[in-house]
Amino acid sequence: MIIDDHEIVRRGIAEIVDRTDGLEVVAEAGSVADALRRAQLVRPDVVLVDLQLPDGTGIEVMQKMRHDVPEARPIVLTSFDDDGALSEALAAGARAFVLKTVRGAEITDVIKAVADGRVLLDERTVTRRRADHEDPTADLTPSERRVLALIGDGLSNREIGERLGVAEKTVKNHITSLLSKMGLQRRTQVAAWVAGQRSVAWRENEKK
């Protein structure tokens, strides 16, 4: 079962899952209320759940399903890459924590592993992550930091160039450099990282 308020995201994941032998999407939902109602009807084995939903959070979904549909094994699929979300997901019973920048084949591998009873998220994972956490932007130049922020705002390379008064080629060079320094491979990963940092206290955004 896929729980995400973005229809395009749900359909994209559903297509990947349904093409995989042994896997089938039995239901989709775009809100907490809809998710809980449909889950009790279809009794899914695995649930992919986003953290932020229009009427609540994925944490609430997992907490309630723990009692109402205990056989369902939750996987958090989100763009919020921060320790607070990770810890809450673990406490709510998540078996895995996956970012939306993940490749399709990786999603299905995680689903299969969780369906087989494996737990890919535990307290040691959270503790180790915190211990190893370093600021990947520490070596960025001021110009690269400005480009990083504008990528997070959703601007294209051309728009970033216009905003900063530099050539688009210069912007591309900055992006190549910051990708290397941050240990990332794609522009989408940069956008996801910025989104995660801007919502380190992701529940604060929920309250606003």
SS3 of residue 124 by DSSP: helix
Q: Are residues 8 and 71 in the same domain?
A: yes
Evaluate whether 202 touches 58 at the Cβ level (below 8 Å).
no
Tell me how far apart the alpha carbons of residues 1 and 122 are, in angstroms, rounded to a whole number.
22
Q: Are residues 146 and 125 in the same domain?
A: no
Q: Residue 85: its pLDDT value, please?
A: 80
Instruction: Identify the domain boundary among 131, 151, 168.
Output: 131
* Nearest Cα residue to 46 out of 13, 79, 8, 82: 13
List of the chain residues with pLDDT < 50: 201, 207-208
Neighbour count for residue 75 (Cβ, 10 Å): 23
Q: Residue 208: its pLDDT value, please?
A: 45
Q: Residue 195: its pLDDT value, please?
A: 74
Instruction: Identify the domain boundary among 131, 159, 179.
Output: 131
SS3 of residue 28 by DSSP: strand
Q: Residue 198: its pLDDT value, please?
A: 66
**Stated pTM of the model:** 0.63
Q: Residue 133: its pLDDT value, please?
A: 56
Q: Are residues 159 and 125 in the same domain?
A: no
Instruction: Identify the domain boundary among 82, 105, 131.
Output: 131
Q: Residue 47: its pLDDT value, please?
A: 97
Q: Residue 25: its pLDDT value, please?
A: 96
Q: Residue 173: its pLDDT value, please?
A: 95
Judging by DSSP bridges, how do beta strands 46-49 and 56-57 pair with one another?
Answer: unpaired
- For residue 25, give the DSSP letter: -
SS3 of residue 37 by DSSP: helix
Tell me how far apart the alpha carbons of residues 27 and 38 are, in angstroms, rounded to a whole number.
7
Tell me how far apart the alpha carbons of residues 138 and 38 are, in angstroms, rounded to a whole number.
45
Tell me how far apart the alpha carbons of residues 37 and 56 are, in angstroms, rounded to a whole number.
14
Q: Which amino acid, 126?
A: V
Q: Residue 84: its pLDDT value, please?
A: 74
